[in-house]
Amino acid sequence: MNCSRDVLSQLGALTAMLAALIFATLLYKRKCPMSLSFSSDSLSKLDRMAERYPSKQPLVMPALHMAQKEFGHLSDEALQLVAATLGLPYPHVYGVATFYTMYKREPSGKTTLRVCTNVSCMLRGAYDVLDSLTSKLGVEVGGSTEDFHVVEEECIAKCANAPAILAGTKYFLDLEPKDVDDMLTYLRSNPHPESEVA
């Protein structure tokens, strides 16, 4: 008699746990509908890269770049897509996406201008260049226009030609405040978005 009561109470607990799990899953799906999907080009690039590694972890960064290139920024949904595509936990993908400055979690201008203000650049007038840039664009550091996103960056490996700005894969070197107009004009007709993955 006691034995059957124990079995019944265990069954009851199991059913309650199952119901809670189903409810949590439905709630999660409702909050996070997966309407984004990778292009076939990105998926085949990821497949090719996967052949080089014994696990999926090394693919997180290129997959984030591909998502950023395709969707403009890394929304929660884009991170879920990366996690689901690679079969990795969402917190792992979230951790990588929020650690590196090249990943954008919010929508922003097409070309990110990474203005180095580290020692060599600072000593050669980087803050004057940065001031000229932000005042011409009418934004604060970290802000965006439709075309540009302005970021203050640590050394971008062009100390011999300081001060320097990196836009996508293109460097602007030995800058002075008077060069900012020409740089912006060039980049307006030749945007250099980041996150190009070969």
Q: Which stretch binds ligand FES (CB under 6 A): 22-30, 46-54, 91-99, 119-127?
A: 119-127
Rounded (5°) CA angle 144-192-187: 75
- Alpha carbon distances (Å) from 146 to 110, 115, 134: 7, 18, 14
Binding residue (CB under 6 A) for ligand FES from 63, 162, 183, 184: 162
Residue 139 binding ligand FES, by CB under 6 A: no
Q: Give the strands of the sheet with 170-172, arranged side by side.
A: 148-153, 111-116, 165-167, 170-172
Q: Which of 63, 134, 158, 194 binds ligand FES (CB under 6 A)?
A: 158
Task: For ligand FES, give the closer residue by CB, 1 or 100.
Answer: 100
Q: Would you count residue 120 as binding ligand FES (CB under 6 A)?
A: yes
**Least Å distance between CB 162 and ligand FES?**
5
| 38-54 as b/e: b if 16+ CB within 10 A | beeebeebbeebeeeee
Which CB atom, from 13 or from 119, has the smaller least distance to ligand FES? Answer: 119
> Mask of contacts with ligand FES, 164-193, x by CB under 6 A?
x-----------------------------
Closest CA to 169 of 104, 75, 102: 102
Residue 67 vs 116, nearer CB to ligand FES: 116
**Token duo for residue 35:** 């309407």
The reply on whether position 155 binds ligand FES by CB under 6 A is: yes
Site for ligand FES in 25-64 (CB under 6 A): none
Written as one letter, the residue type at 17 is: M
Point out which residues bind ligand FES (CB under 6 A).
Answer: 116, 118-121, 155-159, 162, 164
